[in-house]
Amino acid sequence: MLRGLVGLLCWLALPAIAAAAPQARILRIDPRASLDEGQPVLTTVIELVQTKSMSAVTSSCAHLSGNANLECMSGLLEQPKALYDAFKFPEANAALMVNVDGRDNPATLHSIEKWGAAKARKGVGTAWLLMIDGSSGMVSRFEEAKQVAKAFIAEMGPNDLIDVMFFNHRAVVKHMTWKADKAAADSFIDEVRTVFPGGGRTKQLLGSVKQGVTDSFGALGNVGVDVEVPLHQAMVLLTDGDSGTDVVSAGATVLALRDFLSKGRFPEDNTTVPRTPLPVVSVWFPTEASEEFFQNARQFMENIANPEIGGAFFVVQGGQGGKGPRLARAVNARFDDMFLIKWRVSCVAPEISQTFKLVFSNVTPAIKGDNCLDCPLGIDPTRWPLDVDMAATVAHAQKNPVYPGGKVRIFGNFCWGTAYERAELYLIPKNQPAPVSLKGKSVEEARQVQQTLIRANMKGKAIGGSDSYIEFEVPESSKFLMGKGKTLSARMVVYDTFARRTSPVLESSIITLPAQKKPLNLVLIGGLAFGGIVVILLVVGLFRSGNAQRRARRAAPPPAPLAGTSGIPPAPHPSPPPPAPPAPGPMAPPPPRARGPPPPLPPRAPPPRSTPAPPPPPPAPAPHRRGASSPPPPTPPPPPPPP
């Protein structure tokens, strides 16, 4: 009663505490959602709080000493949100940036919810490591330490895991390994009925804790395929904090251990292991010791706690083992205020390690961001799917169905700028199944799945695009058409030949669009029909024109003869005359001239009494010979006799 009264008075006397600026902490970056859903979705666990320093919270206890001081501290630290204030996550003002080729690319906020509201979902849980001090110096507090440990086990969530370790003055001596069974953990603790003998004036506390954490969380991924590794983790250290004469475990050197635990890489030199910061809940069980050892133990237990990422410091004095449930609920309440945020990450670097930056803008009060430099995702970046906007792609395909020899347009965020030529389209044959999940498959197995889907080589060529869309020519083959009639569909995979990434390949997320059989080419048919009509019209026109000309020739009178002609066509051109005699020389005498009149022409027969026939044509004039005289003009025919 007296202890409770002292704690209450200290809490009532607590002045207003100046707190640090709000700050966000990235506690986990997990890529497993991309394997389960086949989408480029990254899951993060983020805490956004305004922390309070432990010295400021317990400053009202400074005038007390001994057990009264410890009781005052205990009462203050067990209050709800004693070391922090939670803040709402500003969705509209937050951005997660992914650095690719020296440029920060923003991710898109996919979903957000409180950790406490999402605990029922698979994978949303905490992996608890309970480290219980079983050294001989804990003999008077051992049962209470076990009691508090079992209280934390009782508060486990449906997806939590538990690992229990006992250590003595030198190292871990009993280890349960990870389990999801509360009863098994309780039984393991009950099996250890007393402290472990031996010891002395030195207890390697820091070394035991560091080795235990490395061994436990290093094996967390090997718990088996039937156990879902939680997204969050925490450690509860239950000890008297007394390291005796061990200089390595001094209160000042424990700050290096806290940094090691807060960085969350176990072992710390393995840069391929994902970063998982570890909140440390320090539960101190003070024992009788010299002033030097007592103060060193207190400093060790205070310094190892990291309240900035969810850790806490509690004091359990003799006979107070029953307040374990209150301590466990206080820790879980802090975790319930965390945020489970999923981001749609379109661009990733073609490397195992990625660099992320969480930033906030235009918020009051200002919020400090966080980053994760060279963070390994734990998967091959070539397995990270391309970001396809299925809603926009399907909507476009409903108006423009896919068909052999046609075109298809895929919308999304592809991160290739104007270099769309590096994209290829592969149509999936109708009898080739897509995988249901890539979960549990190795990197090589996942790559084989991608290669199998594109092995049919029904490839489409990119003909246009940008960061937001890509358009392909569809091959002429119809082997990719699935279904019948109005239910025809086409499955396809987009492949980035530079980044070696594909669009989603799982059965539930592969690109599936409305399709149809190849339609008749109306333009070609119309052109052929028009050309045929033109040809027919030309033939008809030519036929009619020929008939008209023939009729015109039959109906027209013969042309009138020209003056001086008989109207009869001239005879064929005679053969050329023989060569003329040579011309006389300049001194030769002129040729003799013919004397007398020209001989008379023979008489003509009189024409018949009927209609006179046209007169015969005159004989063709003989060609004029050089040097001869001109022939006389022809005699005109006699006039016809009178009737």
pLDDT digits (tens, 9 = 90+) for 529-568: 777 788 888 877 777 776 666 666 666 566 655 555 555 5
Q: Which of 94, 98, 88 shows the shortest CA–CA distance to 29?
A: 98
- Domain end among 492, 514, 536: 514
Q: Do residue 271 and residue 166 come from a single domain?
A: yes
- Does 592 or 2 have the greater pLDDT score? 592
Q: Do residue 257 and residue 138 come from a single domain?
A: yes
- Domain end among 514, 540, 567: 514
The pLDDT, as a whole number, for residue 15 is 44
* Weakest-pLDDT range from 43-57, 226-240, 569-583: 569-583
CA distance 332 to 325: 11
The per-residue DSSP string of 309-340 comes to GT-EEEE--TT-GGGHHHHHHHHHHHHHTSEE
Q: Do residue 322 and residue 422 come from a single domain?
A: no
Tokens of 414: 């592809």
Q: Do residue 21 and residue 44 come from a single domain?
A: yes
The per-residue DSSP string of 18-66 comes to --PPPEEEEEEEE-HHHHHHSS-EEEEEEEEEEE--HHHHTGGGTT--H
Domain boundaries, position 392: 383-514
Q: Do residue 424 and residue 501 come from a single domain?
A: yes
Q: Which of 179, 504, 126 shows the shortest CA–CA distance to 340?
A: 126
The answer to the question of residue 483 being in a domain is yes
Q: Do residue 76 and residue 149 come from a single domain?
A: no
Tokens of 394: 């399907």
Q: Do residue 136 and residue 277 come from a single domain?
A: yes
The pLDDT, as a whole number, for residue 270 is 75
CATH number at residue 267: 3.40.50.410
Q: How confident is the model at residue 446 (pLDDT cuts 50, 70, 90)?
A: low
Domains held by the chain: number: 3
CA distance 445 to 451: 10
Q: Per-residue pLDDT tens for 303-320?
A: 999 999 999 999 999 999
The answer to the question of residue 9 being in a domain is yes
The answer to the question of residue 639 being in a domain is no
Q: Do residue 425 and residue 369 come from a single domain?
A: no
Q: What is the largest CA-CA distance in the chain?
A: 186
CA distance 80 to 337: 12
Q: Are 106 and 370 in contact (CB under 8 A)?
A: no
Q: Do residue 294 and residue 149 come from a single domain?
A: yes
- DSSP E strand stretches across 101-221: 103-106, 108-114, 126-133, 161-167, 172-175
| Helix H or strand E encompassing 144 | helix 142-154
- Cα-Cα end-to-end distance for the chain: 176
Q: Are 511 and 392 in contact (CB under 8 A)?
A: no
Q: Do residue 441 and residue 429 come from a single domain?
A: yes
Q: Are 352 and 274 in contact (CB under 8 A)?
A: no
Percentage of the chain modeled with pLDDT above 90: 53
The answer to the question of residue 108 being in a domain is yes
CATH number at residue 450: 2.60.40
- Domain end among 491, 514, 537: 514
Q: Do residue 154 and residue 183 come from a single domain?
A: yes
Q: Do residue 145 and residue 87 come from a single domain?
A: no
Q: How confident is the model at residue 486 (pLDDT cuts 50, 70, 90)?
A: confident
Q: Per-residue pLDDT tens for 506-537?
A: 888 899 999 999 987 656 666 777 777 888 88
Tokens of 532: 């045929």
The answer to the question of residue 616 being in a domain is no
Cis peptide before 581 (omega within 30 of 0): no
| Strands laid side by side in the 161-167 sheet | 172-175, 161-167, 126-133, 232-239, 280-284, 312-315
